[in-house]
Amino acid sequence: MNQALLNHRMLGVTFGPDGATARVWAPFAQNILLRRCNRPLDIPLQQDGAYWCTTTAQLQPGDTYKFILNDSIERPDPASLFQPEGVHGSSVAVDTRTFAWTDADWPNFPLDDYLIYELHTGTFSSEGTFAGIENRLDYLVELGINAIEIMPVAQFPGSRNWGYDGVLPFAVQNSYGGAEGLQKLVDACHKRGLAVVLDVVYNHIGPEGNYLEDFGPYFTAKHLTPWGNAINFDDDYSDSVRRYFIENVLMWFRDFHIDALRLDAVHAICDASETHILREIKQYVDALMAQTGRQHYLIVELDQNETQFIQPLVNNGYGMDAQWNDEFHHALRVTAGGERNGYYADYDGIHHLAKSYTDAYVYDGTYMPRRARIVGKSTAGHAGRQFVVFSQNHDQIGNRMLGERPSQLVSLEMQKLMAGAVMSSPYLPMLFMGEEWGELNPFLYFVSHSDPSLVEAVRQGRKKEFADFQSDFETPDPQDERTFERSKLQWERLTQEPHQTLFRYYQTLLALRKSSSLRHPDRESVAVVVDEVRQTLTLFRQHKKLDEPGTTDRSETVVCLMNFSREGQSLTLPAHDGQWHKLLDSADPQWHGPMAAPGQVAGNGAVVLQPESILIYTNCE
């Protein structure tokens, strides 16, 4: 392990007592200059093995610069922190140490307690910036979440993009507010008790403005990915490529005080090395935490149901702390009446939803028809906190051709039921921006490339993607600015009905998640009873309540009754010596529901579950 990487970033331009140090990996270069652009000056770099570097007092924070390779190739810094002119323009020298942090006492939360809210910076607010998010932090606290997950901010072409076309992993998107804007947002979040999760992409680099190959073999033809040649994590010269991404991880945690990273589609990271890159990243993060005393988490997106990713290092795993569980979403969507084509064809609805409540994965060593092979491994021994679940996210909305949200596809009653299904799970819940008030605007796929041939390729790619989802509508044009504008949240909905009431319902759900046994993502105590004919599901959650010293500990049982049918269903509560006390009733008229259930029910008593509703009772007074 390179201990120096823990202390400070070494790639790109950094600042220290002797001035600015510039370092770039370019193993095949004949010579490299750093060209200061705003005050014209060329500064030669000296070769140091496969790297080129110099230390100079002639480059100051705020100066713009580029690297000149072999006297002719002019490129932005591969480790640039700020690109005010976009992916093709000059880099800006940034000293991350000058930001005045006020979060020295920020503890971060145990992962068990994370209540996540995913958002896209450009469409979350009218401003489309980090400052726009900061202006809404009090709202998020009022809602009841305690962690925001920001979709990727690495510099991408133009000003409109989901973020997965980033080409400069260290540079913070200029149109969002740049490096200092992100630092300011993170500091403001911590001041209000909010953790920050940042989405990063280590499985590919976007197409426009991707100049990494001019510097060195960042990619390899040894592996082919959906985006072309794979990032070079295991071929010749891969040590420096691995270091590049390890430095990126450490930078976000150390210099930007990010609490957790969400690593995009790690199943598409190709690495046959003896030590997988994710395992090495975890080793470095553990060392950083030991040095700083700050807690950080690594959460991955993974669709292979391969538990090695979330196995601890001591068990020969990659050590990732948690993963998104798309299978819970797929089973829930089908149960809620969603379509059964495309990737939904593998999910039969409520039976698979019940399995996901107990086993996390639906396919855990079983045959998946769409892939025509055995998929997954058992999750036995893995805690509930290792799985993030949701009823919607950017992918599951934005990868629909028309970007429809559940608010456009299902009834208000079903929206409330789906939210309750997520919050009552023994996993970490995540919301997607706007779902808490039933946002009606779609979340569409959008880009702002400058290359006409690339724009057309994106358009055709989107049309091909929806070949399995038959529709009479045209695919929205990702390049059209109106596609982006249609995807922005309509905050005025919060003053209208039923959106205002739905917001209060989500507040109540989140408060319940924090105050009852639902708070504990304990998979071991979960039991499920499912009736596929009546489309009902009963979820049992238990947790031992520790009373005062000298008294007897009690076990609280929470029973969640869910009716996914369009007819009322009578269900019997479990035998219990006392009364069952109602905690939540989505069918209560206060939530625009048709009829409230009894507040108390005797053990073995029956309740009528209204159509498309959830009832939650506890046996604790």
- CA distance to 228, 467, 600, per residue, from 225 (Å): 5, 20, 56
Copy the structure tokens of residue 433. Answer: 């921006």
- CA distance to 63, 241, 495, per residue, from 79 (Å): 15, 12, 44
- CA distance to 76, 100, 274, 438, per residue, from 407 (Å): 43, 42, 47, 5
Alpha helices in 339-389 (DSSP H): 350-359
CA pair distance 498, 262, nearest whole angstrom: 33
Of 443, 447, 431, whose CA–CA distance to 488 is shortest? 443
DSSP β-bridge partners for residue 154: 172
Q: Tell me the residue ranges of DSSP E strands in 97-180.
A: 116-119, 147-150, 154-155, 168-172
Single-letter amino acid, residue 399: N
DSSP β-bridge partners for residue 168: 155
Count the Cβ atoms, other than its own, within 10 Å of residue 224: 11
- The owner of tokens 């940042």 is 198
Copy the structure tokens of residue 93. Answer: 């020298």
Copy the structure tokens of residue 434. Answer: 């706007």
CA pair distance 27, 12, nearest whole angstrom: 15
Q: Does the annotation count 472 as an active-site position? A: no
Single-letter amino acid, residue 86: G
Q: Tell me the residue ranges of DSSP E strands in 70-218.
A: 73-75, 91-92, 116-119, 147-150, 154-155, 168-172, 195-200
Q: Is 316 left (phi over 0), alpha (psi -120 to 50) or beta?
A: left
- The owner of tokens 């300011």 is 184
| Residue 71 burial (C-beta neighbours within 10 Å; 0-12, 13-18, 19+) | exposed
As a dihedral over the C-alpha atoms of residue 260, residue 262, residue 268, residue 269, rounded to 10 degrees, the angle is -20
Copy the structure tokens of residue 389. Answer: 């679940």
Q: What angle do CA 298, 303, 304 make, to 5 degrees?
A: 105
CA pair distance 321, 382, nearest whole angstrom: 10
Q: Does the annotation count 301 as an active-site position? A: yes
Cα within 13 Å of Cα(418), Cβ side: 33
CA pair distance 296, 289, nearest whole angstrom: 7
CA pair distance 398, 414, nearest whole angstrom: 20
Which of these is catalytic: 301, 364, 439, 585? 301
CA pair distance 261, 224, nearest whole angstrom: 25
CA pair distance 47, 32, nearest whole angstrom: 9
- Which H/E stretch holds residue 255? helix 238-255
Backbone CA torsion sign across 285, 141, 398, 512 = positive
Which of these is catalytic: 199, 235, 264, 280? 264
| Cβ atoms of 24 and 11 closer than 8 Å | yes
β-bridge pairing 91-92 and 73-75: unpaired
Backbone CA torsion sign across 230, 234, 235, 237 = positive
> Which residue numbers are catalytic?
264, 301
